[in-house]
Amino acid sequence: MIKRWDNRTLSLMAIVAVALAACARAQSSQTTTDRVIRYEPGDVDLLLPSGWKEKREDAKLILQPQDASVKLIFFAPAQRGMEAGMAEVNKTVSNRKNTGVDMRGTKVADQMQVQDYYGTGEVEGHQVRWMMTLVDKNTFGEPRLAALTFGDANGFESNLPRVMRILNGLRRIKR
């Protein structure tokens, strides 16, 4: 005997499936050992993954895993736009070569978007891959925000998922 499902039952099953998927995504985006840290100059909170360290240097927030295979530096540029972000890249990365850009404006939390610029270069005599991320908050009333990520090719690639999780989890500071 074949049982037929009525529309109410199918609708209820669809709602339950969507709710379960949303719960799974929420749980996977923050582990119990992640912790929220605040970056006041950029007016955001972010999730620091378990095993990562934070250091504050002037108006910069520097994050890195325990093995120091990659660095993620948040900064609040004085000007808007790519040139202001690249000026910070130039302070850190020598012999900089641009290798790509993602101008799609990927949406992240709180109606913000990110644009990523990629390249290679040297930091303290070591070859690195880098990514400069501009965060567009869709408002001129909030502080600007950018991030520079760099590491050797292996460190960069292996940590990129964690870096993207940090960037995708940015939240405006609620005032």
Domain housing 166: 34-172
- Structural domain count of the chain: 1
Specify if 41 maps to a domain. yes
Specify if 29 maps to a domain. no
Residues 56, 146, 60: CA angle, nearest 5 degrees? 15
Specify if 59 maps to a domain. yes
Beta strands in the chain (DSSP E): 35-39, 44-48, 52-57, 60-65, 70-75, 94-107, 113-123, 126-136, 145-151, 171-172
CATH number of the domain within which 64 lies: 3.40.1000.10
Q: Residue-wise pLDDT tens for the chain (175 aa)?
A: 444 555 555 454 545 444 444 444 444 444 558 899 999 998 899 999 999 999 999 999 999 999 999 999 999 987 777 888 899 899 999 999 998 888 666 677 677 888 889 999 999 999 999 999 988 776 666 678 999 999 999 999 999 999 999 998 898 887 6
Residue closest to 104 by CA, chosen among 113, 92, 95, 112:
113
Which residues have CB under 8 Å from 145's CB, separation 6+? 39, 42, 43, 44, 74, 75, 76, 134, 135, 137, 170
Specify if 11 maps to a domain. no
Burial of 103 (0-12, 13-18, 19+ CB in 10 A): exposed
Specify if 20 maps to a domain. no
Residues 133, 136, 137: CA angle, nearest 5 degrees? 135
Assigned token pair, 40: 């006041």
Specify if 76 maps to a domain. yes
**pTM passes above 0.95:** no
Specify if 23 maps to a domain. no
Specify if 141 maps to a domain. yes
**162 vs 29, 59, 66, CA distance in Å?**
10, 23, 13
